[in-house]
Amino acid sequence: MDGFPTIASAAADLAARRVSPVELTQHCLERIGRLDGQLNSFLLVTGERALADAKAAEARFMAGTQRGRLDGIPIAHKDIYNTAGIRTTGHSRLLEHNVPAADAMVVRKWADAGTVMLGKLATHEFAMGGPSFDLPWPPARNPWNTDRMPSGSSSGTGAAVAAGLILGGTGSDTGGSIRGPAAYCGIAGIKPTYGLCSRAGVLPLTYSMDHTGPLAWTVEDCAILLQAMAGHDPADPASATRAVPDLLSGLDAGVAGVRIGVVRHFHEVDNKVDAPVQKGIDDAVELLRGQGAVVREVVLPSLQEFQACGFLILVAEGYALHEQWLKTRWREYGELFRTRVSLGGLISGADYVQAVRRRRELQAAVRAAMADVDIMLTAGAPTVATRIDDTPKWSNLEKPGFTMPFNVTGQPAMTICAGFGEGGLPVGIQMAARPFEDGLLLRVCQAYERAMPWRATRPAMAG
């Protein structure tokens, strides 16, 4: 069997009976057993559950009642997604023995689509504050170089996808936690429009900026996963009451006539990126222009303004969620989480209200800028993956990130591989679309990804 099947290729092989769901699952479990000791991407491997899921999928295939392209596909969930009867910890000592009674809505949707659940994946504590070395489980490492971090907080998902341990997985994104691992691990990750996918049953970090979404090796695989995640859920008060969009039918329609705005000051002035990242952006612009896109420059408020607004809201809402435990179980948290989130206890009601007011102004500025463009393009991360043992406590305050603007606005944003830099480590570019134009975003990212050679290269350790 190909060591690195994608969801799309595996679905075709399963449908043609070239491989069975059990064989595919055993292939992934073997890779986990052989490689994950170096990566720490899994907190829990559910081998018996996976084989049971695979046998059920195989029976459906034999009976001709398969459920679609995700039937029999091995996946895993970030360990903030509740899984009925299976430990869900948030990578925190506080929930070390927590066993939920019910699945998160997204977990249920993927199970109903026939996926095979391989286990629970490493995160940063409660989806913020890592990598930490003072928790019950070590942090995940980057398969391109295990001395480097896979970013976070969907760190385990990014590492496991890149190493070919899973074909796709869940992530969450409050300030960039899907798109950061996509950039550092050289994979694809989409933060959908706020409200497109349910957050019910997912351990929260903030009330107003949390998003659920998928990570996978390709844009097409992300589209397949997102199609099965999307939909209204009355249990999530932020869930959009819209029909589920068709994210797959126009995926290969190309970019002719699509208007792309390059937010040049983000990556050339506000947080100047390294040369390989800049080259990835420049090459993407030229390729998309050559395919018929109309490219122009877009000016937005500075990255610093988005970062300040988003970070204040994040820590204020995060503190509100954790206040009681921070007061009574302080030392059970890891140092990074408790130090960062406790800052929210010093934020006044007036500060929070002003941040919410500024958020609306920033959203209006982006809407105005997108009146003349369909897609915005900038960096996914400023550099290749940084060393895992070199993360300052306040790294998220030292320089503004490229991902926070689109958590502030809630619009869909996706990071994909755009080449390689120092030491053969991946670099990423990021694109964003208007709210609920997730399908267009996937289409443009697909056009770029299909035209470039990056998907043919996997980490050497995973070979």
C-alpha span between 409 and 305 (Å, rounded): 13
One-letter amino acid of 34: R
Closest CA to 77 of 182, 181, 143, 172: 172
| Whether residue 20 lies in the annotated active site | no
Report how far residue 178's alpha carbon sits from residue 156's, in angstroms, rounded to the nearest whole number.
11
Q: Is 153 a catalytic residue?
A: yes
Beta carbons of 213 and 226 less than 8 angstroms apart: yes
**Residue 450: CB atoms within 10 Å:** 14
Which residue type is seen at 62? M
Catalytic residue among 20, 78, 172, 342: 78
SS3 state of residue 164: coil
Catalytic annotation, pick one of 151, 153, 172, 198: 153
State the burial class of residue 290 (Cβ atoms within 10 Å of its Cβ: 0-12, 13-18, 19+).
exposed
Q: Ramachandran region of residue 95, left (φ > 0), alpha (ψ -120 to 50) or beta?
A: alpha
Give the bridge partners for 297, in sequence order. Answer: 262
Q: How far is CA 79 from the centre of its chain?
A: 13
Instruction: Please state, as a whole number, how many other Cβ atoms lie within 10 Å of the Cβ of residue 456.
Output: 7
Would residue 342 show up in a list of annotated catalytic residues for this protein? no
Query: Radius of gyration (Cα) for the chain, nearest Å?
Result: 20
DSSP line for 275-332: HHHHHHHHHHHHHHHHTT-EEEE---S-HHHHHHHHHHHHHHHHHHHHHHHHHHSGGG
Phi, psi of 187 (to 5 degrees): -120, -170
Q: How far apart are CA 226 and CA 223, in angstroms?
A: 5
Residues 6+ apart with CB under 8 A from 242: 196, 232, 436
Backbone phi, psi, residue 43, to 5°? -90, -25
Task: Considering the candidates 151, 155, 172, 177, report the single residue annotated as catalytic.
Answer: 177
Token pair of 8, please? 């799309």
> So which residues are the catalytic ones?
78, 153, 177
